[in-house]
Amino acid sequence: MTDSHDLGQGDLEHGALGQAGGSWSPLAGSAQAVVLDILVHGARPRTELAARLGLSGPSLTRITKPLLESGLLVERASLAPSGSGRPSVPLDLDPDAHHFVGVKLTRDRLFVVVTDQRGRVLGEHDEPLPDPSPAAVVGQVTAVVAAARARDDRIRAVGVTVGGQAGDRAHVRHAPFLGWDDVPLADLLTAPTGLPTWVENDVRALTQAEHWFGEGRGLRSFALVTIGAGVGLGLVAAGEVLGGAHSSAGRIGHQRIVVPVPVPVPVPAPTDASAPTCDLGHHDCAGAFLTVAAVEAAAVRALGRPVAYDDLLALAADGHEAARVVVATAADVLGQLIAGVLNVLDPEVVLLSGEGVRLATVGGAAVDAAIERGVHPTAPPPRLLVQEFHFDEWARGAAAVAIQMHALGR
């Protein structure tokens, strides 16, 4: 980062930092770098900020003076004097200056959170989504945003996420759970909500939230694998969330895997109609084994009766043999996927998340065994972190997208 771009006084008068009006013009260059660093990492002494961003002391003072005058940055209580004898006054940011709405859409439900600028959830709400048509969803999201704004006048932007493919933070290209193709959702929502609105794939949004406000903070590389209605992968490399050339990075739901043996029923020939398949009819992809629905379908075959996902995990944890085999089979597939990620990215950490993530704990031994089979013998043991998951995490991810776009001044 260079110190080549100044933040002129004109920017301030234009309301870049005019929080009363709620507007925020783009911060450019070093001013943006300063604000982002403090937003993500918290209060920092001036000397540390200058060193991290490659700025001289006078440059940092010049850049932060208008940010402090406008109230965007604030000074915290001094730390103890350092070696030089002068107290170092940390710069921080008021996380409550701006609030954000995050919305996660599923096939039949809508989840909403309001967060502060550091992704802390201030309020949450969910409701049925009776009609998944774009027009009905736009109407429903508009109503929940209006309700949030009626209670909170600091809401600045909205993020919406879906399971599926999103592009340019504006379009839903393909959302199989909703039956959508090429819906310009951001445009459809910006006018009725009166707020800048952004659209993103749900896993990539969750990755953004982890990168800025979660266990991925401060890491240059990590992978986030989610288990739930689908199987997802988010990637951070060189300090950035990867989107890919076609906004398709991490689309691993149909990644071919080696069908684990033993499976709950004798391994059928690939043409056997009774064999497990994904929604595209594959017998040998991750989605045929690893989604919540796939695991529940395998449980019916193995136990001869319907068993809910969480009940199956509980049975397996208690040593029920058929349940244990179902879980171990899915966990083997999870381990194969993780091994592939380790081989390609060599991330510092692999985070495991999603509403079905408990599989990674109950089936931990099978996950570990599949990883060991799939990576180079000299590879160091990976750092896997199984996160406790609440469904609101998905909506918080959506809010993180809005926070990011707002902070970047888009």
CA–CA gap between residue 3 and residue 8 (Å, rounded)? 13
Residue 276 or residue 287: which is nearer to Zn ion going by CB? 287
Q: What x/- string results for residues 18 through 57 when contact with Zn ion is judged by CB under 5 A?
A: ----------------------------------------
With CB under 5 A as the rule, give the number of residues binding Zn ion: 6
Location of structure tokens 């266990």: 215
CA–CA gap between residue 304 and residue 308 (Å, rounded)? 13
Residue 146 engages Zn ion in binding (rule: CB under 5 A): no
190-209 residues near Zn ion, rule: CB under 5 A? none
Smallest gap from residue 254 Cβ to Zn ion (A): 4
Q: Compute φ and ψ for 291, nearest 5 degrees.
A: -75, 165
Location of structure tokens 């911060």: 27
What one-character DSSP code corresponds to residue 117? T
Q: Is 385 strand, coil or helix?
A: strand
Residue 102 or residue 354: which is nearer to Zn ion going by CB? 354
From the list 391, 347, 356, 25, the residue with the least C-alpha distance to 206 is 391
Residue 272 or residue 321: which is nearer to Zn ion going by CB? 272
CA–CA gap between residue 126 and residue 116 (Å, rounded)? 19
270-329 residues near Zn ion, rule: CB under 5 A? 278, 280, 282, 285, 287
Smallest gap from residue 288 Cβ to Zn ion (A): 6
Residue 60 or residue 285: which is nearer to Zn ion going by CB? 285
Query: Token pair of 330, please?
Result: 């899915």
Residue 147 or residue 280: which is nearer to Zn ion going by CB? 280
Residues with Cβ within 8 Å of 181's Cβ and at least 6 positions away in sequence, in order, are: 173, 174, 175
From the list 235, 256, 259, the residue with the least C-alpha distance to 346 is 235
Amino acid at 6: D
From the list 33, 99, 41, 92, the residue with the least C-alpha distance to 68 is 92
Smallest gap from residue 311 Cβ to Zn ion (A): 26
Smallest gap from residue 291 Cβ to Zn ion (A): 10
238-257 residues near Zn ion, rule: CB under 5 A? 254
Smallest gap from residue 341 Cβ to Zn ion (A): 18
Residue 216 or residue 287: which is nearer to Zn ion going by CB? 287
| Long-range Cβ pairs for the range 388-393 (8 Å, 24+) | 389/353, 389/354, 389/355, 389/357, 391/111, 391/126, 391/355, 392/111, 392/113, 392/121, 392/124, 393/206, 393/209, 393/353
Smallest gap from residue 248 Cβ to Zn ion (A): 15
Q: Compute φ and ψ for 96, nearest 5 degrees.
A: -90, 5
Smallest gap from residue 406 Cβ to Zn ion (A): 37
344-373 residues near Zn ion, rule: CB under 5 A? none
Smallest gap from residue 300 Cβ to Zn ion (A): 19
From the list 181, 114, 103, 107, the residue with the least C-alpha distance to 140 is 103
Residue 256 or residue 390: which is nearer to Zn ion going by CB? 256
CA–CA gap between residue 165 and residue 406 (Å, rounded)? 22
CA–CA gap between residue 186 and residue 406 (Å, rounded)? 14
Residue 38 or residue 278: which is nearer to Zn ion going by CB? 278
91-110 residues near Zn ion, rule: CB under 5 A? none
Q: For 200-223, b where at least 16 C-beta lie within 10 A, e where not — what string?
A: bbbbbbbbbbbbbbbebeeeebbb
Residue 136 or residue 280: which is nearer to Zn ion going by CB? 280
Smallest gap from residue 224 Cβ to Zn ion (A): 21
Smallest gap from residue 290 Cβ to Zn ion (A): 10
Residue 285 or residue 402: which is nearer to Zn ion going by CB? 285
Q: Which residues make up the interface to Zn ion (CB under 5 A)?
A: 254, 278, 280, 282, 285, 287
